[in-house]
Structure 1
């Protein structure tokens, strides 16, 4: 993702969703979508038709709920749209696939400004553009808070999917992308501040390393996962699915100065943000020990024989391993 800043054109200025109605909103959004060759039939019919180049399609879905995943006083509609797309596109990449299209179900209160809904759609569209994917359609409905449920599709382009269950003892564990930035940004916002701005922006709009997913597949990754709930928690899924133990080397992690500053201000360990912070959507994978990885993949640990668990420097990590929606 390039992180290019775009200023969306405002539409429906001064109107609410109740003013324009369901079909008026759909028309406004459809006008802003772009055609893509992989979408044979897009928004406007009972269903979209999306090409599957090798007869298979990777499919994933995720939700954003106002008050749980974002706040309108913390994030712009455009940022929320980009985030909604990013968390799903990253899941496609984590299978070793290239995203092709998304559909979105959007729920909102009738008094929501039309401009907010349209800017959300712009953000969704522009994040998809980062990987050449298209918004192929969706649905809108009234709800008590803003809710977005996005389903993303992707193509394996003839490759085998990289799952969570293929890690083997002796593999190296590596990460591509940022860790802890979003969680530190949430800490800043939760305390009523807006600085360090780089962390706040990381929380508002993640920057997943989309291309690293297909790259990992081509490099021979044995397992791969999107870091959405925290590195320890998500590597735990690989450990359980593969029936292996994973040990991380704390000295291999970068601790950026902004994260160190926030940790010092709140009396936390900087490493805790890196190990347990979610929503950066980095990719974590396991690779055969003899694979030479590009420098943007940071080798942080190894896969061992043993009961499924994730340890740090050979010991169990003290404290929560990451986010739990019902915890």
Structure 2
């Protein structure tokens, strides 16, 4: 038996370090696009199939009861399991067509919990506008904690859009919200009485528990000639760093425009005594889209221009805000 006692742990490395270590060991030679973007692509007769998978685990990605006292409904877990995966297909410029779901539950889980979960899945597909998506099957198993793994398949009429195509001179634009889900998570983790939350705070909590990715904006961006595209699942700075490094460029965000996104987060900031710009820059799981467009006339109306792409310089930071360097490692990490 191999002795792993002196080896680094997954907790030591963090999510990106783990990926850097294991991806070279995995054979993706039969894929037309392997790991590295929001979804992979597999050649099939007549075209490609986009593939994405995500997992939600109890006490890692959600709590059944939060420190605020708010119960996390099974319905919302079902909703989010769909939302985060169709977002990945959207981020490739595609539409979701099929899904399989693996659900693992403790044996004492009430049947009503499982039914509420399934209703959340069904309603998310309808509400989000993923009309072509159908549930193909999945797996049900017993576990010591709740775990949901959802795999979604999709296709793109205009061909897959990668995060590696950004070019100096491109405009950076975002569709959807920035910071809502991060603010909502902070509220859920805060020791406050959830019964006293006002309407604005509850809206932000819903952004965390029941996100609404801008489906349709991915294909529209592809049709408009977008150079690079990805979803914002781990925070604007962390994900834009990935786009910049994949494209060999730097990016600079307009601070004044980002401040406008922070305005809607002030109710959560007042409750938790936090700075709202933290969530705009580093909050994840809004599942909006970050796109690099060649020129302003190419930007669809639902996108907001928030910055620009610049040439990479040896000493220049990959990501800056108003010309000032930011902490690139901040944002969501499963192992932080």
- Deviations 1:149-190, CA, capped at 9 Å, x for gaps: 000011112x12110110000000000001111111111111
CA distance in 2, matches of 1:190, 1:319: 24
Alignment pair present for 1:207 and 2:212: yes
Match in the other structure for 1:156: 156
- Provide the residue aligned with 1:178 in structure 2: 177
Q: Provide closer, same or farther for how the CA distance between residues 142 and 215 of structure 1 changes in structure 2, counting only shifts above 3 A.
A: same
Partner residue of 1:19?
Answer: none
Answering whether residue 171 of structure 2 is matched by residue 166 of structure 1, we say: no
Cα separation, 1, equivalents of 2:271 and 2:328:
20
Partner of 2:5: none
Other-structure match for 1:27: none
1:78-107 per-position Cα deviation (integer Å, ceiling 9, x unaligned): 111000110000000000001111101110
Measure the CA separation in 1 of the matches of 2:248 and 2:304.
23
Q: CA deviation at 1:319?
A: 7.7
Tell me whether 1:107 sits opposite 2:107 in the alignment: no
**Aligned pair in 2 of structure 1 residues 84, 273: CA closer, same or farther (>3 Å)?**
same
In the TM superposition, residue 265 of structure 1 has moved relative to its aligned partner by 3.7
SS at match of 1:137: strand
> May I ask how many residue pairs the two structures share in their alignment?
275
Aligned to 1:118, the other structure's residue is in SS state helix
> Which ranges in structure 1 are unaligned for 5 or more consecutive residues?
1-51
Q: State the match for 1:9 in structure 2.
A: none
Native 8 Å contact 2:237 2:328 kept in 1: no
* 2:19 counterpart residue number: none
In 2, Cα distance between the equivalents of 1:168 and 1:291?
Answer: 16
Shift of 1:139: 0.3
SS in 2 for 1:56: strand
Contact kept? 1:188, 1:200, Cα under 8 Å: yes
With over 3 angstroms needed to count, the CA separation of the structure-2 counterparts of 1:268 and 1:154, relative to structure 1, is: same
RMSD across aligned positions (CA): 1.7
* CA distance 1:183–1:293, shift in 2 (3 Å): same
Offset at residue 266 of structure 1 (A): 3.2
- Which residue matches 1:125? 122
Deviation at 1:270, TM superposition (A): 1.5
What residue in structure 2 maps to residue 259 of structure 1? 265
Assess if the C-alpha contact under 8 Å between 2:221 and 2:300 holds in 1.
Answer: no
Secondary structure (helix, strand or coil) at the match of 1:209 reads: coil
Q: 5 Å matches for 1:1-327?
A: 54-73=46-65, 74-129=71-126, 130-132=129-131, 133-157=133-157, 159-191=158-190, 192-194=192-194, 195=197, 196-253=201-258, 254-255=260-261, 257-307=263-313, 309-318=318-327, 321-327=330-336
After superposition, the C-alpha distances for 1:263-300 in whole angstroms (9 at most, x for unaligned) are 24433322111111101100111010253423320000
For the residue of structure 2 that corresponds to 1:138, the secondary structure is strand
Q: Tell me, which stretches of 5 or more residues in structure 2 are unaligned? A: 1-43, 66-70
Cα distance change of structure 1 residues 98 and 225 upon mapping to structure 2, 3 Å threshold: same
TM-score, normalising length: structure 1 = 0.80
Cα deviation for residue 206 of structure 1 reads 0.2
Deviation, 1:199, is 1.0
1:166–1:258 CA distance, 2 compared to 1 (3 A): closer
- Where does residue 15 of structure 1 map in the other structure? none
How many angstroms does 1:317 deviate by?
1.5
Post-superposition CA distance 1:241-261 (Å, at most 9, x none): 101000001111223544113
